[in-house]
Amino acid sequence: MASHGARGRSGGRPTLEEVAARAGVGRGTVSRVINGSPRVSDATRAAVEAAVAELGYVPNTAARALAANRTDAIALVVPEPETRFFAEPYFSDMLRGVGAEISDTEMQLLLTFAGSDRERQRLAQYLAAHRVDGVLLVSVHADDPLPDLLAQLEIPAVISGPRSSAETLPSVDSDNYGGARQAVEHLLSRGRRRVAHITGRLDVYGAQRRVDGYRDALSDAGHGVDEALIEAGDFSEEGGHRAMRALLERHPDLDAVFAGSDVTAAGARQALREAGRRIPDDVALVGYDDSAIARHMDPPLTSVRQPIEEMGRRMIDLLLTEVADRRPLASRGLDRRQMVLATELVVRSSS
Amino acid sequence: MASHGARGRSGGRPTLEEVAARAGVGRGTVSRVINGSPRVSDATRAAVEAAVAELGYVPNTAARALAANRTDAIALVVPEPETRFFAEPYFSDMLRGVGAEISDTEMQLLLTFAGSDRERQRLAQYLAAHRVDGVLLVSVHADDPLPDLLAQLEIPAVISGPRSSAETLPSVDSDNYGGARQAVEHLLSRGRRRVAHITGRLDVYGAQRRVDGYRDALSDAGHGVDEALIEAGDFSEEGGHRAMRALLERHPDLDAVFAGSDVTAAGARQALREAGRRIPDDVALVGYDDSAIARHMDPPLTSVRQPIEEMGRRMIDLLLTEVADRRPLASRGLDRRQMVLATELVVRSSS
DNA sequence: ATCACTGATGGGAGCGCTCCCACACTACCT
DNA sequence: AGGTAGTGTGGGAGCGCTCCCATCAGTGAT
Answer left, alpha or beta for residue A95, where phi above 0 means left and psi between -120 and 50 means alpha. alpha
* Distance of alpha carbon B201 from alpha carbon B211, whole angstroms: 11
Q: How does DSSP assign A283-318, residue by residue?
A: -EEEEEE--HHHHHSSSPPEEEE--HHHHHHHHHHH
Q: What is the pLDDT of residue A333?
A: 44
Residues of A with CB under 8 A from a CB of B: 7, 11, 13, 56, 58-63, 65-66, 69, 71, 82-83, 86-87, 92, 95-96, 99-100, 103, 108-111, 113, 118-119, 122, 125, 128-131, 153-154, 292, 298
Across A143-157, A263-277, B3-17, B129-143, least confident range: B3-17
Per-residue pLDDT, A10: 40
Tens-digit pLDDT profile for residues A219-272: 999 999 999 999 999 999 999 999 999 999 999 999 999 999 999 999 999 999
Name the residue with higher pLDDT: A117 or A231.
A231
Which carries the bigger pLDDT value, residue B333 or residue A321?
A: A321
Contacts 24+ apart (CB under 8 A), B334-340: B336/B167, B336/B168, B336/B170, B337/B170, B337/B171, B338/B162, B338/B167, B338/B170, B338/B171, B338/B173, B339/B170, B339/B171, B339/B172, B339/B173, B339/B314, B340/B173, B340/B174, B340/B175
- Answer yes or no: is A252 CB < 7 A from strand C: no
Query: Measured between CA atoms, how close is B204 to chain A, in angstroms?
Result: 25
With an 8 Å Cβ cutoff, the interface of chain B facing chain A consists of 7, 11, 13, 56, 58-63, 65-66, 69, 71, 82-83, 86-87, 92, 95-96, 99-100, 103, 108-111, 113, 118-119, 122, 125, 128-131, 153-154, 292, 298
Question: Does residue A330 carry a pLDDT above 60?
Answer: no
What whole-number distance in Å separates Cα of residue B335 and Cα of residue A261? 51
Q: Measured in angstroms, what separates residue A19's CA from nucleotide C28's C1'?
A: 36
Among all protein residues, pick the one whose CA is nearest to the C1' atom of C14. Answer: A2
pLDDT at B56 over 90: yes
The per-residue pLDDT of chain A, averaged, comes to: 90
> A61, B86: Cβ pair inside 8 Å?
no
Q: Is A5 exposed, middle or buried (0-12, 13-18, 19+ CB in 10 A)?
A: exposed
Please spell the DSSP secondary structure of B203-259, one letter per residue: TSHHHHHHHHHHHHHHHHTTPPP-GGGEE---SSHHHHHHHHHHHHHH-TT--EEEE
B175, B342 contact by CB (below 8 A): yes
What amino acid is encoded at A212 in this protein? Answer: D
Residues near strand D (C-beta below 7 A) are: A 3-4, 24-29, 31-32, 38-41, 43-45, 63, 66-67; B 2-3, 5, 13, 15-17, 27-28, 31, 34-35, 57, 59-60, 63-64, 66-68
Tell me the per-residue pLDDT of B68-99, one tens digit each, with 9 for 90 and over.
999 999 999 998 888 888 888 899 889 989 98
Inspect the interface and report whether the beta carbons of B71 and A62 lie closer than 8 Å: yes
Point out which residues pair with A196 in neighbouring strands. Answer: A257
Question: How many helices (H) and strands (E) are present in chain B, helices listed first?
Answer: 14, 12
Q: How confident is the model at residue B346, as a pLDDT?
A: 97
Mean local confidence (pLDDT), A44-48: 96
Q: What is the mean pLDDT of residues B2-27?
A: 71
User: Does residue A331 have a pLDDT over 90?
Assistant: no
Closest CA to A350 of A178, A174, A186: A186
In chain A, the residue whose alpha carbon lies closest to the alpha carbon of B152 is: A11
- Which of the pair, B93 or B220, is modelled with greater confidence? B220
Buried b (16+ CB within 10 A) or exposed e, B34-64: beeeeebeeebbebbeebbeebebbbbbbeb
Mean pLDDT, residues A321-327: 78
pLDDT of residue B326: 66
State the average pLDDT over residues A58-82.
92
d(C-alpha B112, C-alpha B329), whole Å: 23
- What pLDDT score does A2 carry? 31
pLDDT in tens, B176-210: 999 999 999 999 999 999 999 999 999 999 999 99
- Ranking A154-158, A202-206, B4-8 by mean pLDDT, the lowest is B4-8
Q: Which residue is nearest to nucleotide D19 (CA to C1')?
A: A4
Q: Mean of the pLDDT values across residues B167-184?
A: 95
Write the pLDDT tens digit of every residue in B115-155. 888 889 889 988 998 999 999 999 898 889 999 999 989 89
Beta strand B302-305 with B256-259: parallel, antiparallel or unpaired?
Answer: unpaired
CA–C1' B2–C10 (A): 24
A134 closest CA partner among A170, A165, A166:
A170
Strands B134-137, B171-174: pairing is unpaired
d(CA A290, CA A307): 9
Please state, in angstroms and rounded to a whole number, the distance separating the CA atoms of residues A176 and A260: 10
DSSP state letters, B264-329: HHHHHHHHHHHTT--TTTT-EEEEEE--HHHHHSSSPPEEEE--HHHHHHHHHHHHHHHHHHT-TT
Residues of chain B in contact with residue A71, where contact means CB-CB under 8 angstroms, are: 62
Contact (CB, 8 A) for B27 and B69: no
- Angstrom distance (rounded) from CA A252 to CA A263: 22
**Mean pLDDT, range B332-350, rounded to an integer:** 83
pLDDT tier for residue A335 given thresholds of 50, 70 and 90: low
End-to-end CA separation in angstroms for chain B: 74
Work out the pLDDT band at B168, boundaries 50, 70, 90.
confident
* Model confidence pLDDT, tens digit, residues B29-42: 999 999 999 999 99
User: Among partner residues B61, B66, B83, which is closest to A129 by beta-carbon distance?
Assistant: B61
Which of B223, B234, B233 is closest to B192 using CA atoms? B223
Band the pLDDT of A8: cuts 50, 70, 90: very low
A303: left (phi over 0), alpha (psi -120 to 50) or beta: beta
Structure confidence at residue A119 (pLDDT): 86
Closest partner CB to A129 (pick from B58, B66, B96): B58
User: Nearest-CA residue to the C1' of C16?
Assistant: A63
Of chain A, the end-to-end C-alpha distance in Å amounts to: 74
**Which residue of A96, A110, A154 is in closest CB contact with B86?**
A96
CA A44 to C1' C21, in angstroms, rounded, equals 21
Q: How far is the alpha carbon of B64 from chain A, nearest alpha carbon, in Å?
A: 8
CB B287 within 8 A of CB B233: no
User: What confidence tens digit (pLDDT) does each residue in B64-74 have?
Assistant: 999 999 999 99
Region A190-202: what's the mean pLDDT?
Answer: 97
Q: What value, to the nearest 5°, has the Cα angle with vertex A201 and ends A195 and A202?
A: 80
pLDDT of residue B328: 45
Domains of chain B: 16-59 (1.10.260.40), 73-173+310-340 (3.40.50.2300), 176-305 (3.40.50.2300)
Mutation site, A31, A108, A133, interface B, largest B CB count within 10 A: A108
Q: Which residues contact B183 (CB under 8 A, 6 or more apart)?
A: B213, B214, B217, B258, B286, B288, B302, B304, B345
Q: Report pLDDT for A334.
A: 44
- pLDDT beyond 80 at B327: no
**Is the pLDDT at B331 greater than 70, yes or no?**
no
Other CB atoms within 10 Å distance of the CB of residue B90: 23
A235: nearest Cα among A283, A199, A193, A191: A199
Protein A36 CA to nucleic acid C25 C1', in Å?
A: 23
Beta-carbon contacts below 8 Å between A and B: 76
Closest nt to B66 (CA→C1')?
Answer: C15
Beta-carbon contacts of B328 under 8 Å, excluding residues fewer than 6 positions away, are B151, B154, B155, B156, B157, B322
